[in-house]
Every structure is written in C-alpha cells, then in structure tokens.
C-alpha cells in the first residue's frame, strides 16, 4: 500500500493522510493508491501539509505501519525515548485529526 506523510507546517509534527485530512497517528493512514502523488501536490499547494511524500506501507496487527524502519521510527517516535512516543491510546484520540 502507498501511504502519504508530511509535517504540520506550524508544529513540524509528523502527519498522515487519512483520506480527507491529516492525522498525527499513523494508524489513521489509508492506502492512497495511484492518487498519492497528486494528493500530495494538492495538499501542499493548499498549505495543509509541509513537504509531503509517498512511502510504502503495510498492514500489521497494530494497524498501518510504514514499511521502512526510518519511516516507522518517524511514525512512532525515537526508540530511545518511549516517553516521547505518541500513544495510540491517547485520551485525545477523538481529536487525532488536526
């Protein structure tokens, strides 16, 4: 699957394309398929995301994950600081979409 990622312009936070908006949580990422590049261009032009790009993703038991380790660390936070990792069980889960 192809998933789309970028950064929030104001905060720099890593974000993921949900099909209609951008989420902080990789679990919300959808397969953007053949449209991925054009969505990236459209969203960047509309200033809803900074520096978006398309990466390979895969479905796992824990939900969608990037295929490559670099993007997985990018999605989940530094492996050496678990306290800084964005938690899927965040009580603000209902407000994931920014």
Partner 1 sequence: MYRYDTYDQQMVDTRVAEFRDQVARRLAGKITEDQFKPLRLMNGLYLQLHAYMLRVAIPYGTLDSRQMHALADIADKYDRGYGHFTTRQNIQYNWIKLAEAPDILADLAAVEMHAIQTSGNCIRNISSDHFAGAAADEVVDPRPYAELLRQWSSFHPEFTALPRKFKIAVIASETDRAAMKLHDIGIRMVRNDAGEIGAQFWVGGGMGRTPMIAPCINEFVPVDSLVTYCEAALRVYNRHGRRDNKYKARIKILVHELGADEYRRQVEEEFAHLQAQGIEPPLAELERISAFFADPPFEKDLPRGVDRSDPDFALWVDTNTVPHKVPGYVAAVISLKPVGGIPGDATSDQMRLMADLARAYSFDEMRVTHTQNIALPHVRQADLYTLWKKLDEAGLGTANLDQAGDIIACPGLDYCSLANARSIPVAQKLSERLAPNAAELGELKIKISGCINACGHHHAGHIGILGVDRKGTENYQLLLGGSEAEDTSLAKIVGPGFDEAGIVDAVETATGVYLAQRTKGERFLDTYRRIGIEPFKEALYG
Residues that bind partner 1 (CB under 8 A): 7, 9-14, 44, 47, 50-51, 67-70, 73-74, 77-81, 84
Angle at 71 between CA 57 and CA 48, to 5 degrees: 85
Least CB distance to partner 1 at residue 34 (A): 23
Q: Which is nearer to partner 1, 34 or 69 (CB)?
A: 69
Spatial CB neighbours of 24, under 8 Å, sequence gap ≥ 6: 13, 14, 15, 16, 86, 96, 98
Least CB distance to partner 1 at residue 75 (A): 9
């Amino acid at each position: 699957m192809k998933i789309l990622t970028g950064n929030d312009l104001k905060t720099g936070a890593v974000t993921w394309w949900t099909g209609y908006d951008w989420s902080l949580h990789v679990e919300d990422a959808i397969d953007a398929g053949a449209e991925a590049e054009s969505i990236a261009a459209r969203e960047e032009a509309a200033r809803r995301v900074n520096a978006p790009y398309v990466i390979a993703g895969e479905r796992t038991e824990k939900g969608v994950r990037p295929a490559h380790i670099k993007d997985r660390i990018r999605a989940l936070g530094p492996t050496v600081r678990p306290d800084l990792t964005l938690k899927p069980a965040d009580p603000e889960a209902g407000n994931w979409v920014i």
